[in-house]
Amino acid sequence: MDMDLKKQLHSKLSAIAPEYGLVELSYPSFMRCYGYRSLPLSAADAVEAVSALLDVAGGVKMEVEVEGARNGGEWFSGGKLWEASGEARRADEREKVSTSGGEAREGRIEADSTNEPEEKNTGVPWWAKNFWTAFDALSE
Amino acid sequence: MLTLRLAILGLTYQYTTSHISREHYDKYHSIYYDEVFRLNPPLPLDSSTSLHPDDLSVRATDELRFTLFRHWTLYDAMYHSSYVASKLGIWKEKGRKRLTGLLAKMGLVTLLSCSRGLSADVR
């Protein structure tokens, strides 16, 4: 895409988009620079990246091209996150929830009230892992 | 500084997922805008890239409501953003035609808008 278009995109869109009912198309936001390591990353892109980490980091088998890991540098901390190993456990968990829904829920409430660690044998649940992955991406 | 960045991310998340209204967003945005200018050195106008190797500053920009439009093609970004999709009715043939019509009216051939990455060759 040529430089001309990049500069004119905002003005062009705001001139034409209202015809199609697209009002409030742009909004003031922020972006963060990364020195010469990477291009500046805008807040909206960062939000997309972090919510993607929260949803699927380590849980879904996915092929990520090396090009994609470059965008944002530290936000995607390496390709090793995208292993398929988590998927099996996640499917197991989903099955368990769907088969014994009510019972499990009651049991969990009980376990909570007695302060017992739940699901001792499965280790850390996938969503907790995803949370820490996103947490690491957000910190310096 | 870290707190400010996290606050901005949280606010942006709430706005892009339509949890808060535009008025609400503007209210908090103006607060963060002042903070950004207080904590970061003033910039020369119209600079979109980093100034020096250790430039980790936050700066204000205008943002479009397209998903990842700096990294995807313009067509993809518009097609996959919920705001544009709901306004144009992208799930119907007619809506898709309206999107290509909009791009054509901006003087973009479909081929051109399919070239990747709005910021890819700024560097």
The pLDDT tens digits of the residues spanning B102-113 come to 777 776 665 555
Residue A16: both structure tokens together:
């034409």
pLDDT over 60 (residue B30): yes
- Please check the confidence at residue A134 and state whether its pLDDT lies above 60: yes
Confidence of residue A119 (pLDDT cuts 50, 70, 90): very low
Q: Residue A116 has what pLDDT?
A: 47
DSSP A83-125: -SHHHHHHHHHHHHHHHSHHHHHHHHHHHHHTTPPS-TTT-S-
Kindly state the tokens that stand for A56.
């699927």
Chain B residues whose beta carbon lies within 8 Å of the beta carbon of residue A9: 64, 74, 118
| Nearest CA-CA partner of B98 in B107, B106, B89 | B89
Specify the pLDDT at position A56.
76
Summarised one tens digit per residue, pLDDT across range A29-67 is 887 877 777 777 788 888 888 888 887 766 555 555 544
Q: What is the pLDDT of residues A58-115, one digit of tens each?
A: 655 555 554 444 444 444 444 444 444 445 455 555 555 554 444 444 444 444 444 4
Among A47, A76, A79, residue whose Cα is nearest residue A61: A79
User: Could you tell me the pTM of the whole model?
Assistant: 0.62
CB atoms < 10 A from the CB of A78, how many? 8
- The whole-number pLDDT of residue B19 equals 83
The pLDDT of residue B95 is: 79
Q: Tally the C-alpha atoms within 13 A of residue A121's C-alpha that lie toward its C-beta.
A: 3
Inter-chain contact B50–A34, Cβ cutoff 8 Å? yes
Give the gap in angstroms from C-alpha B2 to the nearest C-alpha of chain A.
8
- Exposed, middle or buried, B48 (CB in 10 Å: 0-12/13-18/19+)? middle
Domain positions in chain B are 2-39, 65-123
Measured between CB atoms, does A14 come within 8 Å of chain B? no
Residues in chain A with CB shorter than 8 Å from the CB of B9 are 43, 46-47, 50, 138
Mean pLDDT of A22-29: 76
Q: What pLDDT, on the 0 to 100 scale, is given for residue B51?
A: 66
For A27-63, give one letter per residue: b (16+ CB within 10 A) or e. Answer: bebbbbbbeeebbbbbbbbbbbbbeebeebbbbeeee
Question: B98 to chain A: which residues are within 8 Å by CB?
Answer: 20
At residue A139, what are phi and psi to the nearest 5 degrees? -80, 165
Please give, rounded to a whole number of angstroms, the shortest distance from the CA of B92 to a CA of chain A: 15
What is the ipTM metric for this complex?
Answer: 0.70
Decide if B123 and A34 are in contact by the 8 Å CB cutoff.
no
- CA–CA min distance A27, chain B (Å): 5
Average pLDDT over residues A124-139: 80
- How long is chain A? 140
Determine the residue of chain B that is closest to A22 in CA distance.
Answer: B87
pLDDT tens across B40-99, in order? 776 665 556 666 666 677 777 777 777 777 677 777 777 777 777 777 777 888 878 887
